[in-house]
Structure 1
Amino acid sequence: MRYFSAVLLGCAVSVSALDALAQPRARIDVPVMVGGTGVLDGCASVGQIIGLDPRGDGFLSVRSGPGGKPYREIDRLYNGNQVFVCHDKGPWLAVVYGQSADGTCGVSTPWPVRQPYTGPCRSGWIHSRYVQIVAG
């Protein structure tokens, strides 16, 4: 009887877990879109991170969408880091950053079709207050 009760309890827990997985999740990630003109680079500007207080937290959060909460922090940038600025939404910038083999992350040439950036570099959203446009 104990075995049967344990199996029944295990099945109930499994069904409960499956119900939780089947419910729709709130989508909070907003992709960085690149291209769409066929004439301009995939990301039209280059920016540099500036103005972060080294005695404070000293970093700029890269977020999964244009805003603070509910978008999660996915990375951190520091003074002097460079980013490709692809588009904006209010004070938030959609950026591509990091290093690729060619140093451009693939966004320094025209992209005829507007599409989500998928690599080889990283992408996310940062606040424009700490970005100085240096090209584009």
Structure 2
Amino acid sequence: MVTDRDRRPAGILAALILACLPAASIAQQSAVPVIAGQNPGYDACGTVGVVRGLDPQGGDGFLAVRAGPSSNYAMLDKVYNGYLLNICDQRGQWLGVVYSHETQDCGVGTPWPRAAAYNGPCNSGWVFRKYVADYAG
């Protein structure tokens, strides 16, 4: 017969495992959408930036595109020096960007009737501001 005393260690172990789950799954946070069209009458993404300052020899050589405005979010993609990014959103030191690896029209160069989460045809995500310089806008 199993008593409550026998179950106690298993219950404590289960509680410890559950307490550790949030820390282990930080990169699994829900994605934060990039919102375009926040300034009525202006282009949906009013500024173009260029990736610069990455060190391909001594550093990573790429800028991580993340699912949200923090290094705790999952990495979605990589961009490199010279890539052009449409800057649509900002949260602290993180920029919400829309970009294409080809020369594709992403549909953010004209005004939108209202602000909305970007959902294609190009890529979108969040990059750290330090490595993006103003290009136009």
Q: Place the TM-score, normalised by the shorter chain, in its bin.
A: 0.7 to 0.9
Is the 1:35–1:113 Cα contact (8 Å) retained in structure 2? yes
| Mapped partners of 1:60, 1:115: distance in 2 | 25
Is the 1:66–1:92 Cα contact (8 Å) retained in structure 2? yes
1:33-112 map, 5 Å: 33-55=35-57, 56-69=59-72, 71-98=73-100, 103-112=104-113
- CA 1:33–1:92 in structure 2 vs 1: closer, same or farther (change >3 Å)? same
Tell me, what secondary structure is at the counterpart of 2:130?
Answer: helix
Q: Could you list the runs of 5+ residues in structure 2 that have no partner in the other structure?
A: 1-27
Q: TM-score, normalised by structure 2?
A: 0.75
Is the 1:100–1:121 Cα contact (8 Å) retained in structure 2? no
Aligned-residue offset at 1:27? 4.7
Q: After the TM superposition, which segments of 4 or more aligned residues of structure 1 sit over 4 Å from their partners? A: none
Q: Could you list the runs of 5+ residues in structure 1 that have no partner in the other structure?
A: 1-25
| Mapped partners of 1:99, 1:57: distance in 2 | 19
| Mapped partners of 1:135, 1:48: distance in 2 | 9
Q: TM-score, normalised by structure 1?
A: 0.75
Q: Which residue of 1 aligns with 2:22?
A: none
Tell me, what secondary structure is at the counterpart of 1:129?
Answer: helix
Tell me, what secondary structure is at the counterpart of 1:126?
Answer: strand
- CA 1:49–1:100 in structure 2 vs 1: closer, same or farther (change >3 Å)? closer
How large is the RMSD of aligned CA atoms in angstroms?
Answer: 1.8
Aligned-residue offset at 1:99? 5.2
Equivalent residues, number: 110
